[in-house]
Each structure stands twice: as C-alpha cells, then as structure tokens.
Amino acid sequence: MSARAAWRLETLGFVQVFRYTAGKADWSAARLPMEGELASAPRASTLLRRDVPTCSLTDQIGDIKKSVEQTDWDLCVVVNNERIVLGLLSGEALQGDSLAEVKTRVEDVMQPGPPTIRPDLLPEDALEYMRKRSTILVTTSDGELLGLLRREDAEQAVSRAG
Amino acid sequence: MPTDLHRNDVRRMAEGRAQLVEVLSQAEYEQEHIKGAINIPLRVLGRETVSQLQKDRPVITYCHDYQ
C-alpha cells in the first residue's frame, strides 16, 4: 500500500519520495514514539520476556538441558547467528537422560517453525493466537527473536485494561 | 522511483525535514500512528489531498508493515 502511495506521489510532482517498508509495526516494535488512542496500550513487545534461553542447531541436547535447568525456563528457542527463529525445544525433547539422548543434536529433535506473533499485537489479540498454548514466541516480521509472551502476562494486561 | 528505507533512515530523516505520511484509513491512523505523521489514506490520495505536503521536502510513506 505504501509503495503505491509513493509511486502516486511521484506522478503528482514529488521528487524526493521514500517508502518505510516495515511500517508502523516496525516502529512500534522498536518502542519509538507513537501517537493516537492506542499509543500507550500494552503490546506483545512490552509484555514479552526477553531472557528466554536460546541455542543453535548443532548444540547437543545434554548441554542445552543443563543450561536450561539453571534457569526458570523449561524450553529453549533454536536460533541462528542473526537470532532468526528456526525451531523450539520443549517437553520431551529436553527430558532424555540416556547417552544417546544427551548426544543428540538440537536440529534432530526440535519442533521446526514454531508459531510466532508480531510485537505490535495487543494482548487480547495475542490471546487469540494462544488458545491452546501457555506461551508464544514474539518475532519481527523478518523472524528475528524478540522474546516470549506468557499467557498469564497477556491475561493480566487484559484484566488491568478492562 | 521511490526509495525503500530502513527504520534508522526514517528516524534520521524525520528529525530533519522529511514529511511522514500514513496511507492507512483515518480510523487506523487515529488508533495509532508514528509521532508527527499526517494521514492521507491511499484511497483519497490525489492532487487535492497532497496539497498539504511541501514538494521541496522529502516525503516518506508508510502503512502497517510490508503490504
């Protein structure tokens, strides 16, 4: 839409025309100044937990299990060097204790392509995506991990607003 | 040909002389928009509505995301 508008402006005689391709979702996600009725409303970006553990495809499950056990988390997000989400480790994938299991590579047992939401989502809308989930990953539209939203945090935000 | 911009470029230009234009509907604009942006919905963008813009200054259009 912004592309068509930019092209139209050129036909109307404007010569310095630019397009902010990522739009206000990107601006809001970066917590830059916004105005309007919902500008100060909580968003996934303001409610998410940023300290969620991460690992890489080639890590071994045993190492990841040990590091996750030292946190309050029971999952680990699989990312690449650019923090793009590639998968998720949780549940049974982090339970195994046998030698074969601890030597297993992350990429062999991760859940590929876990669902994600965008950071500008209102908590009530985020809950729609979380009907059967207690957590959901929050990423940019490019897939970069920003954090994880817990259902309880979204529900509390909705409750406070109501 | 319009030039695509990254957020950091938009920040820098908006702090200067650039004019930010949200091309979504008025309702969406009123809910939330980038600070300092004006609203010219795409469906009404024409010779009359752009008269509020200055042609000797850069114009940056945006919508919600990569639409």
- How large is the ipTM? 0.96
Query: Would you call A34 and B47 a contact, using CB atoms and an 8 Å cutoff?
Result: no
Residues from chain A contacting residue B37 (CB–CB below 8 Å): 35
- Model pTM? 0.78
For the record, the structure tokens of A84 come out as 């793009």
Please tell me chain A's helix, strand, coil percentages from 3-state DSSP, rounded to the nearest 5: 40, 25, 40
Nearest-Cα distance to chain B for A4, in Å, is: 8
Mean predicted confidence (pLDDT) in A42-66: 93
Residues from chain B contacting residue A4 (CB–CB below 8 Å): 42
Query: Would you call B66 and A22 a contact, using CB atoms and an 8 Å cutoff?
Result: yes
What's the pLDDT tens digit per position in A133-150? 999 999 987 899 999 999
How confident is the model at residue A140, as a pLDDT?
Answer: 86
Question: CB of B47 within 8 Å of any CB in chain A?
Answer: yes
What's the pLDDT tens digit per position in A63-93? 999 999 999 999 999 999 999 999 999 888 8
Quote the distance between the C-alpha of residue A50 and its chain's center.
Answer: 9
Q: Considering only residues A31 and A51, tell me which one the structure prediction assigns the higher pLDDT.
A: A51
Lowest mean pLDDT segment, chosen from A35-39, A41-45, A93-97, A120-124:
A93-97
**Collapsing DSSP states into helix, strand and coil, what is residue A143?**
coil
Number of A–B residue contacts, CB under 8 Å: 138
For the record, the structure tokens of A10 come out as 């050129």
List the single residue in A9, A10, A23 with the smallest CB-CB distance to B62.
A23
Phi, psi of A146 (to 5 degrees): -105, -35
The secondary structure element, H or E, covering residue A78 is strand A75-79
For the record, the structure tokens of A159 come out as 């409750």
Q: Are strands A34-35 and A75-79 parallel, antiparallel or unpaired?
A: unpaired
